[in-house]
């Protein structure tokens, strides 16, 4: 185990790994600042570039990109009241009022410093947990792995989307799409309609490119979404000095218990599959308000209201990555895309990764800490100027993003038919977004589909139809049943308690 830690540190400081992390970080900051493109679109866009790359370099790039988007996003949230990424939504509640009160620099300083420490500390928590998690994960056999996949799917399907039913439809569709192609077990061609292109199944990269990349672009065009006027950003970042930013960083040290609490909340929420970063940041915001001596100041420009969500938002990544790598169950939408990246470069997250690829897993965790630290420092240094990136107009974004999507789709499959797949999934993603269906659940269903079927038949062959009667599987099945029943129980419980009171 100690060897793996040493190997991870050595691998992290290899020039190519550092370069990949640096490149991912810069791309991530820019994507985070552009209000039109979030982390999900950004990560999907760069998936085709990972093709043929060394797993460490490819995933180092993607992880750094993902970790830095939130730090770039807090700048636009504070300056122009538009969150660069979804987790920054809670930051603008107090960040923007602070900016209106002439404390924009202080808000940015506090947000960035708390996100640096919020991103670094939980990585060490995750590293400390790995020696405990590895033996547990390695003890899992086919039945446990099957129920684990089922548990992950249930979490994401039931907890995302407008309603559990819509989440389940989305997850089920993903599973069904994963069954397209040649089934090795029986030699059957399923849903290929005689097309050679579909014999190997739907291309993994095409799904996120369509569902997130193309769908977001078409949605933005359709809504006629405008980005902010350059003058507005210029006016709002004018008068902001480094002294203000420094004052904000000192605020974080004054409220060190707050950021520590928020980071732990973010880390724990991040470990639960299916719960998005949005939940982590609002839970952290709520606890900060509840425990504050001046809760009435929240929402009117209170620095604690900036520190708590930013700390939780970045802390979530380490927890989420740990669950993804150790159990093969993505913590959320971004992690589902990251999982697609892992599979693309030939690494299967889960027990296999914790066994054979443990140094890679540890390097990636350390990479998150490094990316958070460096991107935070870069943003701190360039804070007064970075906001100006956000005035890139949709007119310029659309052709650039479209070309990247279509070229990427072609390159990974070397087929023009993959472009049609992207368009079909783009339209499906647009409908799902408009009608409240969960796109991450569909992606997760697709990503986990192969394992789902593999472990199902393996368990059946080895242990017969009662393969799920093992203690760990049963515990996970009970959790799944509780998850399914929870929405109905929540509705029924007040009725039951009213009746009981009457009696």
Partner 1 sequence: MKIKPKAYFLIGIMAMMIVAIVLSIGFHYWEAKVLPLSISSFILLLAALELRAELRAEDKGSGSDAESYKGDEAEIESHRFYSGMGWILGFCIGTYLLGFLIAIPLFTLSYLKVQGRSLVASLSVAAILFVFIYLSFELGLAAQLFPGVIFDR
Contact residues toward partner 1 (CB under 8 A) are: 49, 51-52, 165-166, 168-169, 172-173, 175-176, 179, 183, 185-186, 188, 190-191, 214, 217-218, 221-224, 395-396, 398-400, 402-404, 406-407, 410-411, 414, 416, 419, 423, 431, 434-435, 452-453, 456-457
Are 141 and 455 in contact, with CB atoms under 8 Å apart? no
The Cα-based distances of 9 to 110, 230, 491, 502 in angstroms read 29, 43, 50, 64
Residue 75: CB partners within 8 Å, gap ≥ 6?
Answer: 32, 33, 84, 108, 111, 379, 383, 386, 387, 390
> Which of 95, 36, 45, 89 lies closest to 66, judged by CA?
45
3-state helix, strand, coil in the chain (%, to 5): 80, 0, 20
Read off the DSSP letter of residue 191: S
Q: How far is the CB of 82 from partner 1 (least distance, A)?
A: 19
Q: What is the rounded distance in angstroms from the CA atom of residue 172 to the CA atom of residue 186?
A: 22
Q: How far is the CB of 38 from partner 1 (least distance, A)?
A: 19
Nearer to partner 1, 453 or 472 (CB): 453
Q: How far is the CB of 23 from partner 1 (least distance, A)?
A: 12
Q: How far is the CB of 499 from partner 1 (least distance, A)?
A: 26
List the alpha helices (DSSP H) in 238-355: 242-254, 256-271, 277-291, 304-327, 333-344, 351-355
Nearer to partner 1, 172 or 295 (CB): 172
Q: How far is the CB of 388 from partner 1 (least distance, A)?
A: 17
**Structure tokens belonging to residue 462:** 């080895």
Q: List 356's β-bridge partners, or say none.
A: none
Q: How far is the CB of 376 from partner 1 (least distance, A)?
A: 27
> Which of 326, 412, 409, 398 lies closest to 365, judged by CA?
326
CA angle, residues 60, 67, 447, in degrees to nearest 5:
70
Q: How far is the CB of 289 from partner 1 (least distance, A)?
A: 29
Q: What is the rounded distance in angstroms from the CA atom of residue 169 to the CA atom of residue 160?
A: 11
Nearer to partner 1, 5 or 456 (CB): 456
How would you classify residue 81: left for phi > 0, otherwise alpha for psi between -120 and 50, otherwise beta?
A: left
Q: What is the rounded distance in angstroms from the CA atom of residue 139 to the CA atom of residue 82?
A: 46
Are 114 and 248 in contact, with CB atoms under 8 Å apart? no
Are 489 and 496 in contact, with CB atoms under 8 Å apart? no
Nearer to partner 1, 20 or 369 (CB): 20
Nearer to partner 1, 491 or 502 (CB): 491
Nearer to partner 1, 125 or 411 (CB): 411
* Radius of gyration of the chain from its Cα atoms, rounded to whole angstroms: 23
Q: What is the rounded distance in angstroms from the CA atom of residue 464 to the CA atom of residue 61?
A: 43
Nearer to partner 1, 224 or 471 (CB): 224
**Structure tokens belonging to residue 95:** 């960040």
Nearer to partner 1, 60 or 376 (CB): 60
> Which of 161, 160, 163 lies closest to 490, judged by CA?
163
Cβ atoms within 10 Å, residue 25 = 29
Q: How far is the CB of 475 from partner 1 (least distance, A)?
A: 24
Nearer to partner 1, 248 or 274 (CB): 274
Q: What is the rounded distance in angstroms from the CA atom of residue 158 to the CA atom of residue 490?
A: 14
3-state DSSP assignment of residue 426: helix
Q: How far is the CB of 361 from partner 1 (least distance, A)?
A: 26
3-state DSSP assignment of residue 160: coil
Q: How far is the CB of 449 from partner 1 (least distance, A)?
A: 9
Nearer to partner 1, 97 or 213 (CB): 213
Q: How far is the CB of 403 from partner 1 (least distance, A)?
A: 5
Q: How far is the CB of 400 from partner 1 (least distance, A)?
A: 6
How would you classify residue 344: left for phi > 0, otherwise alpha for psi between -120 and 50, otherwise beta?
A: alpha
Nearer to partner 1, 15 or 193 (CB): 193
């Amino acid at each position: 185990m100690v060897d793996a830690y040493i190997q991870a540190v050595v691998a992290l400081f290899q020039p190519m790994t550092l370069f990949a992390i640096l490149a991912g970080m810069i791309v991530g900051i820019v994507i985070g600042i552009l209000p039109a493109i979030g982390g999900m679109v950004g990560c999907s866009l760069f998936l085709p570039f990972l093709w043929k790359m060394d797993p460490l370099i490819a995933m180092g790039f993607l992880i750094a990109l993902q970790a830095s988007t939130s730090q770039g996003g807090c700048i636009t949230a504070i300056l122009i009241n538009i969150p660069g990424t979804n987790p920054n939504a809670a930051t603008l509640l107090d960040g923007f009022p602070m900016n209106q009160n002439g404390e924009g620099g202080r808000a940015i300083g506090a947000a960035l410093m708390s996100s640096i420490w919020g991103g670094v500390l939980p990585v060490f928590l995750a590293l400390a947990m790995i020696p405990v998690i590895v033996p547990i994960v390695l003890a899992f056999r086919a039945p446990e792995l099957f129920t684990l996949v089922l548990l992950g799917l249930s979490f994401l399907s039931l907890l995302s989307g407008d309603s559990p039913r819509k989440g389940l439809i989305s997850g089920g569709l993903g599973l069904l799409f994963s069954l397209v192609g040649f089934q090795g077990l029986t030699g059957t061609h399923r849903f290929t309609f005689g097309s050679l292109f579909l014999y190997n199944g739907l291309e993994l990269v095409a799904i996120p490119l369509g569902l997130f990349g193309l769908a977001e672009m078409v949605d933005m065009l359709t809504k006629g979404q405008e980005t902010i006027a350059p003058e507005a950003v210029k006016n709002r970042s004018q008068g902001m000095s480094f002294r203000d930013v420094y004052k904000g960083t000192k605020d974080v040290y004054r409220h060190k218990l707050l950021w520590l609490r928020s980071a732990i909340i973010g880390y724990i929420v991040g470990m639960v599959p299916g719960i998005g970063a949005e939940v982590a940041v609002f839970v952290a915001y709520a606890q900060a308000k509840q425990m504050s001596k001046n809760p009435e100041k929240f929402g009117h420009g209170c620095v604690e209201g900036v520190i708590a969500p930013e700390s939780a938002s970045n802390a979530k990544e380490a927890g989420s990555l740990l669950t993804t790598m150790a159990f093969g169950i993505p913590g959320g939408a971004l992690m589902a895309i990251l999982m697609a990246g892992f599979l693309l470069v030939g690494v299967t997250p889960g027990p296999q990764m914790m066994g054979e690829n443990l140094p890679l897993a540890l390097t990636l965790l350390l990479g998150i800490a490094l990316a958070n630290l460096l991107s935070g420092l870069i943003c701190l240094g360039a804070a007064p100027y970075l906001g100006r990136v956000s005035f890139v107009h949709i007119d310029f974004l659309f052709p650039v993003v479209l070309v990247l999507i279509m070229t990427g789709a072609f390159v990974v499959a070397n087929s023009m038919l993959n472009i049609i797949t992207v368009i079909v999934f783009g339209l499906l993603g647009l409908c799902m977004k408009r009608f409240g269906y969960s796109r991450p659940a569909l992606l997760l269903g697709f990503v986990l589909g192969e394992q789902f079927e593999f472990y199902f038949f393996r368990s059946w062959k080895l242990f017969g139809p009662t393969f799920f009667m093992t203690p760990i599987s049963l515990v996970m099945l009970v959790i799944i049943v509780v998850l399914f029943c929870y929405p109905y129980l929540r509705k029924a419980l007040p009725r039951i308690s009213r009746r009981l009171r009457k009696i």
